[in-house]
Structure 1
Amino acid sequence: MHADNSPGRLPDDQANLVVEVFRMLADATRVQVLWSLTDREMSVNELAEHVGKPAPSVSQHLAKLRMARLVRTRREGTTIFYSLENDHVRQLVMDAVFNAEHAGPGVPGHHRKAAGGLKAVGDRHSAST
């Protein structure tokens, strides 16, 4: 079920899947978790510390993100590491963050990076638009 590259109408089932992806992005904690994973894989405890939320809460968000196939897991001993499911998810998260930067005043951070200016939210990523 892949969208062709034409600007036509999406099949209803595909449109519904897209809505589910956006639902997963409609929560600040989940966005923080996904953003944290754009660089590297992390354990639940690392993510909890990074996003400033309790580990059980982060774990619940990760379960939803995993069911939506936005993150995947890898076990090492007793530790489970989470990473983004694929590069499409990484690009979606980065594009959402970069687009949101345009809503604020001034030059978006990802544009400052391209111009050699101040360190910005997107500085840790190679893709900038």
Structure 2
Amino acid sequence: MTVADDLACEVTCTHPEAVAAARAALPDPATVDAATALLKVVADPTRFRLLGALHTGELCVCDLAVVAGISESATSHQLRLLRGHRVVASRKVGRTVYYRLLDAHVTALIESALDHVRE
């Protein structure tokens, strides 16, 4: 028996109640699209580093560029994308723009991903 054999049923059968419950629990297609878009945007290593840095608190673009090891222009581009997906929020003080994680959901997402890979 191969590993692939262990991953598939040996007989074809369905369990109508389980299938009905699973289908009822599925989010609508628009929600699935939005959730997968969010996961795609945070899945980029550079953007995840930026989010990890913001997990410590609010930082300006210049500080984030140093932490991530990329240019300020590249940092701004990545932050614009993250802001567009409602992952970060910004505020401007004079000529300096500060970023933070948008809310507790984003913080939990980052913490959960890190916790999962550390186990």
**Fold match by TM threshold 0.5:** yes
Task: Render the CA deviation track for 1:1-34: whole Å, top value 9, x for unaligned.
Answer: xxxxxx7011110010001111111210000000
Alignment of 1:89-104 (within 5 A): 89-102=106-119
Aligned position for 1:55: 72
Query: Partner of 1:23 in structure 2?
Result: 40
Question: Which letter does structure 2 place at the counterpart of 1:57?
Answer: A
| Residue identity matched to 2:116 | N
Aligned to 1:125: none
Per chain length, whose mean CA-contact separation is higher, i.e. which structure has more relative contact order (CA < 8 Å, sep 6+)?
Answer: 2
Over the aligned positions, Cα root-mean-square deviation in angstroms equals 1.1
Aligned letter for 2:45? Answer: A
Which has more helix, going by share of residues? 2
Partner of 1:78: 95
- Measured after TM superposition, the shift of residue 72 of structure 1 is 0.4
**Bigger CA radius of gyration:** 2
Amino acid at match of 1:88: H
Question: Deviations along 1:59-98, whole A, 9 cap, x unmatched?
Answer: 1100000000000001111111000000110110111111
Aligned counterparts of 1:26 and 1:53: Cα–Cα separation in 2: 17
In structure 2, which of residues 55, 61, 65 is the aligned counterpart of residue 44 of structure 1? 61
The runs of at least 4 consecutive aligned structure 1 residues that moved more than 6 Å come to none
Q: How many residues align?
A: 96
Partner of 1:108: none
Unpaired runs of 5+ in structure 1?
1-6, 103-129
Over the matched positions of the two proteins, sequence identity in percent amounts to: 27
